[in-house]
Structure 1
Amino acid sequence: MKQTRNVAVLVYERVDTLDFAGPFDIFAISSGKDRDFNVYTVGETKEALHTLSGIAITPAHSFDDCPMPDILIVPGGMGSRTEIHNEKLTSWIRQTAQHAELILSVCTGALLLAKANLLDGLQITTNRRALDLLRELAPSSVTIVENVRYVDNGKIVMSAGVTAGMDAALYVVARLHGQERAEQTAATIEYDWHEEKVQNSLHLAVSASKAELEIKRAASDDLEAMLRLYKEAARWIYEAKGLRQWSEDSFTMEYLEKFIREKEVFVAYLRGELAGCFSVEWGYEPIWGEHFHTDAGYVHRLAVSRSFKGQGLGGQVLAWSEAYIRGRGKTWMRLDCMAENPSLNAFYVSQGLSLCGRYDAEGWSANLYEKKL
């Protein structure tokens, strides 16, 4: 059964109206007929407060009775400069973040995340007029990114000023429910979505054989290269192992278009050539039954081009996946692979993964591996 995500929008005295109202409407309108999002406001109390522009609002919930958020939106405004000294508010943000799937800060909401001690090691941004203050509040381990609309660290997404929060909210909708859903939402409200090419943990550059391995979210421009890669992998499995673990015919443009639309799919490029492809998934996988649990990210459909064999790409993809899954607040990384491939299974063990399950079907089988993060 599909789960409705609770989206809590924090409000406080002198919050910026568009900072909270823009993302609120984005999630509410994109919720769809299946009610994918339950959106509500939350304040320290239920007493009426005023936005920076003087609009009176009454929070639907207080900290004491707020439903547990899956997504927490922390907007900015001049009031954030006062609220950074409100220990009850910053403590609530910190405690809520422990259980939330995703945190989205808008504008100077970044200051509140800094005071809640949530930014260690992240790439962060805020309104350009507040960058100096953010530098003072954030730990030395952060990297401040300027001149972007938003950055994505996995669990924590941060936007620049005011309307950039709407861009970031649409990005989150696309991340969770696909690009088409976000585009439909933007069209509904007649908003010109400033979509960012995210330079962050979803677009991580790492060293590989003295060249740059670039991992990023898959897009339509990647489909033809992905099709060649997956067909090559399916063909190799059959020719080398005599198994039809993957059917070459099952990889079509239609399948891959649906794949990148409905799943979090990533591509890895080396020297401008597609070197690997995989997805990270969070939902229930029927074949694993009692072995499945929700405190994990599941790496699926991992394929590395034979053209780059021996260059350590598999290990770097796994390292990237670990960081991404950890950033989403999960404590386990899991992946499945072809069971009847001793060298591949030995490789995963060498990377610190442990076998925790096996599934056998007619003509193919899979092992399930996991690693504590």
Structure 2
Amino acid sequence: MTISNSTLDDILEIFRLYKLATDYQKAAFPGNVWPEFDKDFIASEVIENRQFKIVIDNQIACIWAITFYDAQIWEEKENNDAIYLHRIATNPEFRGKNFVQLVADWSKDFGKKENKKFIRMDTCGQNNRLINHYKSCGFQFLGMKKLKDSSGLQEHYQNAEVCFFEMEL
């Protein structure tokens, strides 16, 4: 197993995994699901080295993205002291391997190297199973609220209750 930056050659697989994740969301947690993401948006993350992958036996098993600034979602808590995890998606062939825990552990090391104090992430909608899973991976659940301004954010943030999670480093 290796963790590395995604490359532009991975774009088709990234979108395949997003599609599979969205299909799973629709079946398991109807309501607030990921939209179809813009190819240029994802390519920018890859070029900026903010899209990552876990590779097992030459297959991408899991992907996620990070950002270093997320004021529109985190509002008054944003003060340049965190990395933010987004869109963790698992290849169904590798489901059940607890990749969220692996991503959380990787994030701790990455965040410390970047001199950050927190790892943060969010999810839309009240999904108690997901909330408990994130808590079991070491994240503190900070509660839910609607964003003050979701303009310009991805479609799934529009009029959604957002769950906030944080891990102190």
Category of TM-score, reference length = shorter chain: 0.7 to 0.9
The alignment status of 1:287 with 2:63, answered yes or no, reads: no
| Aligned-pair Cα RMSD in Å | 2.0
Matched residues in 2 for 1:357 and 1:227: separation? 30
Distance 1:366 1:304, change over 3 A: farther
CA contact (8 A) 2:81 2:118 kept: yes
The alignment status of 1:222 with 2:10, answered yes or no, reads: yes
CA contact (8 A) 2:8 2:43 kept: yes
CA contact (8 A) 2:5 2:49 kept: no
Matched residues in 2 for 1:306 and 1:285: separation? 32
Residue 292 of structure 1: CA displacement? 2.2
Residue identity matched to 1:291? K
- The 5 Å alignment of 1:1-373 reads 213-247=1-35, 250-262=36-48, 264-360=50-146, 362=158, 364-373=160-169
Residue identity matched to 1:233? A
Residue 302 of structure 1: CA displacement? 1.6
Distance 1:237 1:315, change over 3 A: same
Map of 2:152 onto structure 1: none
Residue 216 of structure 1: CA displacement? 0.5
Matched residues in 1 for 2:33 and 2:109: separation? 28
Residue 299 of structure 1: CA displacement? 1.0
**CA deviation profile, 1:245-304 (whole Å, cap 9, x unmatched):** 311xx2353332233234611111122111111122111331221132321111112222
TM-score by length of 1: 0.40
**CA deviation profile, 1:174-194 (whole Å, cap 9, x unmatched):** xxxxxxxxxxxxxxxxxxxxx
Q: Answer with 1 or 2: which has the greater Rg.
A: 1
Gaps of 5+ in 2: 147-156
Map of 1:28 onto structure 2: none
Distance 1:359 1:263, change over 3 A: farther
Of 325-334 and 260-269, deviating more is: 260-269
Matched residues in 2 for 1:310 and 1:284: separation? 29
**Greater relative contact order structure (CA < 8 Å, 6+ sep):** 2
Secondary structure of residue in 1 paired with 2:126 = coil
Secondary structure of residue in 1 paired with 2:12 = helix
Secondary structure of residue in 1 paired with 2:165 = strand
Gaps of 5+ in 1: 1-212
CA contact (8 A) 2:62 2:90 kept: yes
Secondary structure of residue in 1 paired with 2:14 = helix
Q: Percent identity?
A: 25
Secondary structure of residue in 1 paired with 2:138 = coil
Distance 1:311 1:368, change over 3 A: same
Distance 1:357 1:286, change over 3 A: farther
